[in-house]
Amino acid sequence: MIYHLLYPLHTTISYFNVFRYITFRTIYASITALVICFIVGPWLIRKLQELQMDQPIRQDGPNTHQAKKGTPTMGGILILFAVIVSTLLWANLTVDYVWLVLLVIVGYGLIGFVDDYRKLTSMSSRGISGKARLSGEIALALFVSLILYIKPDFTSNVTIPFFKTVLPDLGFWYVLLSTFVIVGTANAVNLTDGLDGLAIGPAITCFMTYLLFAYFAGNIKISGYLQIPYVAGTGELTIFCGAVVGAGIGFLWYNAYPAQVFMGDVGSLSLGGTLGTLAIITKQEILLCIVGGIFVLETVSVIFQVGWFKMSHGQRIFRMAPIHHHFELKGWPEPKVIVRFWIVSILLALVAISTLKLR
């Protein structure tokens, strides 16, 4: 909105020329989202408590989690509200990619909200059926992937990290890859969100990384210099990523150990689905495995645990999956697990960014 209202006035008020710059609008999108969280956060937490939106704590988890009884969930509503308002204020709304990521964050947020609400009304940690949730996730991801596939200026080539000239064209198979990336990332973030700040920390580093990738991919000079695919219009996703980073930091203010609120599936599914969509639009699909390595590690730990548990008729690889519970049961205090996962996430983001030059 601000871009459309104030930039055209730069001919009379020269200062307003600043609104054309993506960097300026990204910074203020972050600040706006952060301030919204500080203003709305306390009210929302009180509201969730009044409505008794308390997270059901499972009995079969680490005993330390029983102390979390009474913590409200669905704090992801705060993240979504801050991101949507800040993006609508600061982004150039004529760019279709902006509406695409807003569609994903709202769509996956709604799926997560229904799941959270069902858990709370049935007072169990089971929500809507796994099949129903997965069907909704796949349907939305497929719709977004098809829109990208039919866009004339969007290619079905996949970027292979470390190889600048290897850009295999998957054709229609790209739609399936894209759907898998979006749904997979949504569920990986969902699995990771099992300790205070454990999901939002790596999400902040991931969105900061894709903020850079979106800026590079949308700038014809920088993308040419780095020899990465130029995707016209992704520069505006820098503003969206800035809003997510600001909202994530704002949410972390309340979700930091000991958490006053959990994000709920409304937060984890929407953040993950949007991160997957950004990886597709910026043509850095495979690199997401490095940037989001913490989410990959958590998901792989579950796959191996459940797979081996079934194959060995009850034996476990980890003390408990996902792997953050394994370290808890090894005696690591919760804050130590969380901060060490954050550190690994920052290292992975730096390595991923470095691959743009190591090609």
Which of 36, 181, 212, 263 touches ligand 57M by CB under 6 A?
263
Tell me how many helices (H) and strands (E) the chain has.
14, 0
Residue with tokens 């969100």: 193
Max CA-CA distance within the chain? 75
298 binds ligand 57M (CB under 6 A): no
CB 74 within 8 A of CB 239: no
132 binds ligand 57M (CB under 6 A): no
Chain Cα centroid distance, residue 158: 21
CB 133 within 8 A of CB 89: no
80 binds ligand 57M (CB under 6 A): no
Rounded distance, CA 176 to CA 140, Å? 12
CB 295 within 8 A of CB 202: yes
Rounded distance, CA 133 to CA 112, Å? 8
322 binds ligand 57M (CB under 6 A): yes
* CB nearer ligand 57M, residue 138 or residue 226: 138
Which of 195, 290, 337, 349 touches ligand 57M by CB under 6 A?
195
What tokens does 79 get? 């993240």
Nearest-approach distance from CB 14 to ligand 57M, in angstroms: 47
196 binds ligand 57M (CB under 6 A): yes
Which of 305, 327, 337, 342 touches ligand 57M by CB under 6 A?
305
Rounded distance, CA 341 to CA 262, Å? 18
Which of 60, 131, 331, 358 touches ligand 57M by CB under 6 A?
60
Which of 102, 259, 281, 296 touches ligand 57M by CB under 6 A?
259
* CB nearer ligand 57M, residue 27 or residue 300: 300
Nearest-approach distance from CB 303 to ligand 57M, in angstroms: 9
Give CA separation, 173 vs 148, 168, 179, 243, 296, in Å: 13, 11, 10, 32, 22
The half-sphere exposure of 210 on its side-chain side, counting CA atoms within 13 A, is: 35
Rounded distance, CA 47 to CA 45, Å? 5
Which residue is nearest to ligand 57M, using beta carbons?
Answer: 61
**Residues facing 157 on adjacent strands:** 169
Rounded distance, CA 339 to CA 4, Å? 41
* CB nearer ligand 57M, residue 24 or residue 81: 81
Which range, of 21-29, 280-288, 320-328, 341-349, touches ligand 57M by CB under 6 A? 320-328
325 binds ligand 57M (CB under 6 A): yes
187 binds ligand 57M (CB under 6 A): no
What tokens does 166 get? 């290897």
* Short-list 165, 110, 175, CA closest to 144: 175
* CB nearer ligand 57M, residue 73 or residue 178: 73
Which of 31, 35, 57, 114 touches ligand 57M by CB under 6 A?
57
320 binds ligand 57M (CB under 6 A): yes
324 binds ligand 57M (CB under 6 A): no
- Binding positions for ligand 57M, rule: CB under 6 A: 55, 57-58, 60-61, 65, 68, 73, 125, 190-191, 193-196, 255, 259, 262-265, 268, 302, 305-306, 309, 316, 320-322, 325
